[in-house]
Structure 1
Amino acid sequence: MARPKHKLTNAELKAKPPGKYSDGGGVWFHKRPDGGAQWFLRYTSFGRRHEMGLGAYPSVTLKTARQEAEKWQAVVREGKDAIRERERQRREAVRNLHILSDIALDAFESRKAELKGDGKAGRWFSPLQLHVLPKLGKTPVSQIDQRDIRDTLAPIWHDKADTARKAMNRLSIVMRHAAALGLDVDLQATEKAKALLGKQRHKPRHIPSLSWQDTPAFYQSLDGGTVTELALRLLILTAVRSYPLRNLHLDQIDGDTWTIPAEAMKGRKGATEDFRVPLSQEAQRVVAEASKFAREGFLFPGVRKGVISDMTMGKFMDRRGMVERPHGFRSSFRDWVAETTNTPHDVAETALGHTVGGAVERSYRRTDFLEQRRVLAKRWAEVLYRTNSQKVAVLRP
C-alpha cells in the first residue's frame, strides 16, 4: 500500500511544536527548539538512507518543498544519489559562470614567468584588454563560440591584421587555460572564427625609419643632455631594441661590453644565453654621461619611479615633428651595413640580436662574432658623429 502524501497543511506549520513531521513521500518538516525550521528529503540510495536539505522555512514554502522533493526523487529513481547529483550540478553551474575577463587574468598570471620582464610592459595582455574584453569580458567562457569571436575581431581583422592575429592567439591560450581549469569550453572556437573571418588581406606596414644618411644629423642634434636624449643616442649607437635599453642596469656593463640578460632579448627564439653588445668609445661616453642620472642602478630612470616608458623616446621624436620611430634606427643601421660595408650576413644579423641559422648549425657554431661586431660598432659611431658622414670607408671582412 502506497504511503500517503501531503499530510501537512500551511495552517498547522507555524503551530507545530519542536520535532520532525512527515509530509509523506519522504518529505519531512523539522521544527527546532529555537523556533527555526527547515525541510529535508529522506531517501534510500544504494542501500543507505540519506537526508537531503531542501531549504529553510518559511523562505521555502510547503508547495516549493514538495516540488523540490519530487525533482530529486526522480533522480533517485534513475539510480543516482540525489545529494551527489546536486553537488555535481552546482559545481558545473559554478564552472560555467566563470567570465572571460577573470579567466584571461588568471591565464596571464600563470604565464608571467615566461614573459619578458614578467609581462610588466603589458604587451601580452593588451591585445585582449583593448580588443576582446570590452565586448566579451563579462561573458561566461563556456558560452563563447566562433560567432562571438568573429563579431568581436571583425572590425580589426584586415585593418589591424597583426593586432587581430595577436588577439586571436591570446584568446586561444585563454580558452585552453579555461579547459585546463575544468571548464566546459569549445577549444576549436578560435580556429572556427578564423574560418569565418577569412584570410587577412592586410599588407604589413613597416615601422617608419630615418635613412642612415640622415641619422647622423639627428644623432648630433641630441645635445640637450636629458635622460631621453641620452637613451636615444645609445639606442642609435647600439641598434638594440627599446626594452633592454630602457632596462639597462649598470651591473650589465663591463668596460666596453654590455651584456643583456637572455630573458630581455626578443627575436632569439629558443636562446638561453645572454647577448653581448660591443660598446664603442662614443657609446661609453654616453653611458658615463647618463650615469649621473642613474637610480637604483638603472641608467635611464623614469621621472618618478622605475625606468623610462616605451613611449618616452617616441614622444620626443613626435615633438620634433618626426613620423619615424625609435625602433626604426635598427633599420637605419642595417641599411648602412648593407650599403657601405662588406659585412657577412651572419655578423650583420647577429649585430641586431637576430638568431642566425638552424638549431643544428647553432649547436656547432658557438661564436657571437663579438670582435667583428666591435669593429662594426666603432665604424657606425664614426658615421654618427662625423660631420661629413656619408664618406665612409668600406668595412672589409
Structure 2
Amino acid sequence: MALTTLKVKNAKPGRHVDGRGLCLLVKDSGARTWVLRMQKDGRRRDYGLGSAFDVSLSEAREAATALRRKVREGVDPVAERRRARKVVPNFEAAARDCYEALKEGWKNKRHANWISSLENHVFPVIGKRLVDQVDSVAVVEVLSPIWLEIPETARRILQRVGAVLDYAHIKGWLPGEVSLRSVRKGLPRQTGKTGHLEAMSFADVPELMQKLAAASPTTGRDALRFTIYNAVRSNETRFAVWTEFDLDKAIWTIPGERMKARETHVVPLSAPTVALLRRRWNERASDTGLVFSKDGEKPISDMTMTKLLRDDGIKGVTVHGFRSAFTDWAAERTRFPKEVADKALAHKLPNQVEAAYRRTDFFEKRRSLMARWAEFLDKAPAQESKDAARPASEPTAFRVAA
C-alpha cells in the first residue's frame, strides 16, 4: 500500500514501501531517509534521495521518477554524483600529481630534485593544507626561512609552487588562477651575487674531510666525501648508479645525459674513493641501483649534503663550491696546466676553435691530479701546514690498488 503524508510522519523504525522501489527508511534514532531501489543489468542498487525531514513524499516521488528515467537512458547516477562532488586534495597530493604529469617530458633524472625540494622545504609547512587554501601568504611562510640561506633553491621552489597551483586550477581544484607576483614583496631582497656559489677555502677542506671520515658513516656523509674527492656536481653524485663504475680499473663513466654539457665524462677515481665505493658495494641494496641511496631506488635529496655542512656550523658554503676550492688548490698548490683541472671539472672550452683541435681528455694527467687532491684532503691539518711551504710539483703516476 502506498505511503501517505501521515504514514510518513508516524512511521516506526524499519523499511516502509511506497511503490516501484521507492521506500522510507526509519532508523531507531528517528532519522528518516528516502531510498530508491532499482535493478539494472541484473544488479540491484539503492540510491539515496535525501532526508524525509527535507524532502516531502511528493518530492521524493518526483525525484524517483527522474532517476528511473536517467537509468533507462544509460546514465550512472552514482558516478554522476561523484563527479559533482569533486574532492579537493591537499597541496602535497596535488604537487605529486603535478610531478607525475610533468616528469615524462623531462630528459633526465636530474629533475627528480623538483619533487625532493618540495619534500624538504614545502610539504612540512603547507603540505597538509587543501590546495585551494594555499595563497601568497602561505608561500611567503614557506620561503622566509630559506630565502636568504639558499636563494637559488628558494627561487626555484617559488616557480615550482606556482606550477602546482596552475596545475590545480586546470584540474578544477582552484576556482581561479593564483598569482604569486606579490610573494617577493613580502621577502627581503636577495643581495648575494648571482652565478658564483660561496666556497670554502681549500685550506679548510682537509679539516672538514677529517671530521666526515671520523664520524659514523651515513649515506649523506659518504655522498659528500665522494663529491669532494671527485670535484663533481652534487646531482652527478646523487644519481650515480653501480653500472657506471669499474672499480678494478678505478674509473667512473658518467653518461652524457647526466652531464651539464651533455657529454660523457670519464672520472679517474683515487684510492680513497675506490675504498669508499667498495665499502658501499658490500652494503648495496642492488647491483644496478643508485650508489648513494638506502634502497637503491630513491636518491638522497639535494639538501642532504648541505644539511651536513649546516649541522657542523658551516654557514653559506655550498656543496657546489667545493669545485671552486679544487680549482684554487690546483692553481696554487700544483703545476698542472689549467686545462687539466678544467677537464677534471668537465668544463667545456669557451673557444670553439681551440675545442675543435684539442681532442685529448688528459686522462692520465687527471688521474695524477685527482690522486694528489685526495692526498691533500686526507692529510691532517698539522701535516698540511708543513707541506704548504714546500714547492708545488706534479706527482708521478698514481697506481690504484685493486
Given the two structures, how large is their TM-score scaled by the length of structure 1?
Answer: 0.59
Q: 1:60 — aligned with what? A: 52
Distance 1:30 1:262, change over 3 A: same
Distance 1:380 1:305, change over 3 A: same
Determine which of 178, 199, 218 is the counterpart of 2:168: 178
Q: 1:258 corresponds to which letter in structure 2?
A: W
Determine which of 318, 325, 329 is the counterpart of 1:332: 325
Q: Secondary structure at the match of 2:267?
A: strand
Shift of 1:242: 4.7
- 1:351 maps to 2:344: yes
The structure with the largest alpha-carbon Rg is 1
Given the two structures, how large is their TM-score scaled by the length of structure 2?
Answer: 0.58
Determine which of 94, 97, 100 is the counterpart of 2:85: 94
Is the CA contact (8 Å cut-off) linking 1:131 and 1:167 kept in structure 2? no
Q: 1:257 — aligned with what? A: 251
Is the CA contact (8 Å cut-off) linking 1:222 and 1:233 kept in structure 2? yes
Q: Secondary structure at the match of 1:276?
A: strand
Is the CA contact (8 Å cut-off) linking 1:209 and 1:325 kept in structure 2? yes
- Residues 234-285 of structure 1, C-alpha deviations (whole Å, 9 max, x = no match): 543321245654756486135142223557x47x17x3x5432123xxx125
Q: 1:335 corresponds to which letter in structure 2?
A: D
Is the CA contact (8 Å cut-off) linking 1:112 and 1:119 kept in structure 2? no
Distance 1:150 1:367, change over 3 A: same
Q: Secondary structure at the match of 1:203?
A: coil
Is the CA contact (8 Å cut-off) linking 1:107 and 1:177 kept in structure 2? yes
CA distance in 1: counterparts of 2:281 and 2:101, whole angstroms: 33
Is the CA contact (8 Å cut-off) linking 2:8 and 2:24 kept in structure 1? no
Q: Output the aligned Cα RMSD.
A: 5.8
- 1:127 maps to 2:121: yes
Give the share of equivalent positions with the same residue, in percent.
22
- 1:11 maps to 2:3: no
Q: 2:278 — aligned with what? A: 291
Distance 1:252 1:121, change over 3 A: farther
Distance 1:330 1:92, change over 3 A: same
Shift of 1:216: 5.1
Q: 2:392 — aligned with what? A: 392
Q: Secondary structure at the match of 2:191?
A: coil
Q: Secondary structure at the match of 2:116?
A: coil
Q: 1:336 corresponds to which letter in structure 2?
A: W
- Answer with 163-172 or 295-304: which moved more: 295-304
- Residues 82-108 of structure 1, C-alpha deviations (whole Å, 9 max, x = no match): 997977973554335333332223334
Question: Where does structure 2 lack aligned partners over 5 or more consecutive residues?
Answer: 26-31, 37-45, 67-71, 396-402
Distance 1:61 1:290, change over 3 A: closer
Shift of 1:287: 1.6
Distance 1:65 1:261, change over 3 A: farther
Distance 1:55 1:64, change over 3 A: farther
Q: Superposed, which structure 2 residues align to 1:1-397 within 5 Å?
A: 8-11=4-7, 14=11, 20=19, 29=22, 38=34, 55=48, 59-61=51-53, 63-64=55-56, 66=58, 90-109=81-100, 115-116=109-110, 122-133=116-127, 137-139=128-130, 141=131, 143-144=132-133, 146-147=135-136, 149=138, 152-153=141-142, 155-156=144-145, 158-159=147-148, 161-178=151-168, 182-185=171-174, 188-189=177-178, 192-195=179-182, 197-198=184-185, 201-204=189-192, 209-215=199-205, 227=217, 234-242=226-234, 244-245=236-237, 249=242, 252-253=245-246, 255-261=249-255, 265=258, 268=260, 271=262, 274-279=264-269, 283-288=270-275, 291-292=278-279, 294-297=281-284, 311=304, 315=308, 327-339=320-332, 343-344=337-338, 348-353=341-346, 369-371=361-363, 373-374=366-367, 376-378=369-371, 380-381=373-374, 384=377, 388-389=387-388, 391-393=391-393
Shift of 1:210: 3.4
Distance 1:66 1:355, change over 3 A: farther
Shift of 1:226: 7.0
Distance 1:308 1:30, change over 3 A: closer
CA distance in 2: counterparts of 1:253 and 1:378, whole angstroms: 17
Is the CA contact (8 Å cut-off) linking 1:30 and 1:39 kept in structure 2? yes
CA distance in 1: counterparts of 2:143 and 2:318, whole angstroms: 28
- Residues 51-73 of structure 1, C-alpha deviations (whole Å, 9 max, x = no match): xx97368x434744555778999
Question: Where does structure 1 lack aligned partners over 5 or more consecutive residues?
Answer: 1-6, 22-27, 41-52, 75-80
Shift of 1:212: 2.2
Is the CA contact (8 Å cut-off) linking 1:99 and 1:138 kept in structure 2? yes
Q: 1:100 corresponds to which letter in structure 2?
A: F
Shift of 1:333: 0.5
Q: Secondary structure at the match of 2:202?
A: coil
- Residues 160-190 of structure 1, C-alpha deviations (whole Å, 9 max, x = no match): 544542332222332344356x32536742x
CA distance in 1: counterparts of 2:280 and 2:291, whole angstroms: 7
Q: 2:231 corresponds to which letter in structure 1?
A: A
